[in-house]
Amino acid sequence: MDILTGTHEIQVATVALTGRLDALEARGLRDLLDSHLASGHSRIVVDLRALEFVDSAGLAALVKGMKDCRTAGGDLRLVAPTERDAMRVFELTRFDRVFTMNAELEDALSGW
Amino acid sequence: MIPTALSLDADFLALRKIGPWLHALLAEIGDERRTAVFGRIELAIHELATNSIEHGAPQDGAIHLSAEVNGTELLVVLRDNGVECDVSDISTPDPDDPQVRGYGMMIIEQVASSLDYERSDDNNVWTAIFAI
């Protein structure tokens, strides 16, 4: 019997956001996520803990990113916002059940 | 005197004036009540204004908001002179089939006690009532 062993590293790109993720900022996030995908990173964690506000345009950028990542064989996971005003849009649209959301970055980075 | 009317340029940067305006407007209901309601109402008005920019495309490049506190309700009116809204064309996203856009109205309708639309003198007029 031959035994071959190896180790594999799974690379996960992380993006941490601060401030407001709204229509004004959504385009920039979309472009950033697109560039990660173009670079071959289809596993992305977006850290929303420091966001103060998210609207549906910001949500749309994350949803688009998630769909594109999943199409590429990966996923886009979130570290959940700590501010109520940033979490609200996910709850009202039920996207808190669609995204994989973790309370801590370490949890979002594990288990790929 | 807290202005109860706010006119904004129809661009996304200008929409950031909504939060401070609303926060000042709600001062009369006291800090505790304001803290309890502010975030969700800000989101709903923000969504209404975003829809105006994206779908209405106001010809004069402006969105006009007015608001009035009536006891336990906040009445907000948004007016723009953009393209007439076809309310029959607004569909509710299917939660089991996530889509990228189209959630603005869904958010507004969950937050507002009522939401009405009328076309008046070549203006789109949205009237939302929020429980405060």
Residues in chain B: 132
In the numeric block, which tokens belong to residue A19? 């401030």
Per-residue pLDDT at A49 exceeds 80: yes
Cβ neighbours of residue B107 closer than 8 Å, sequence gap 6 or more: A56, A89, A92, A93, B43, B44, B47
Q: Which residue has the tokens 């808190």?
A: A96
State the complex-level ipTM: 0.90
CB contact under 8 A, A88 and B93: no
CATH number of A13-109: 3.30.750.24
- Alpha carbon distance B117, A3 (integer Å): 71
Q: Which residues in B lie closer than 8 A to residue A24 (C-beta atoms)? A: 12-13, 15-16
For the segment A82-99, what is each residue's pLDDT rounded down to a tens digit?
999 999 999 999 999 999
Which tens digits make up the pLDDT trace of B28-71? 999 999 999 999 999 999 999 999 998 888 888 899 999 999 99
pTM tops 0.95, yes or no: no
pLDDT reading at A80 higher than 80: yes
Which residues of chain A from 5 to 44 reach within 8 Å of chain B, CB to CB?
20, 22-24
Is A85 near chain B, with CB under 8 Å?
yes
Question: What is the structure's pLDDT at B3?
Answer: 61
Select from B80, B76, B60, B46 the least CA-distant residue to A25.
Answer: B46
User: For position B85, what pLDDT does the model report?
Assistant: 85
Quote the pLDDT of residue B2.
58
- The CATH superfamily holding the domain B5-131 is Histidine kinase-like ATPase, C-terminal domain (3.30.565.10)
Q: Cα–Cα distances in Å, from A17 out to A101, B35, B60, B107?
A: 15, 24, 34, 23
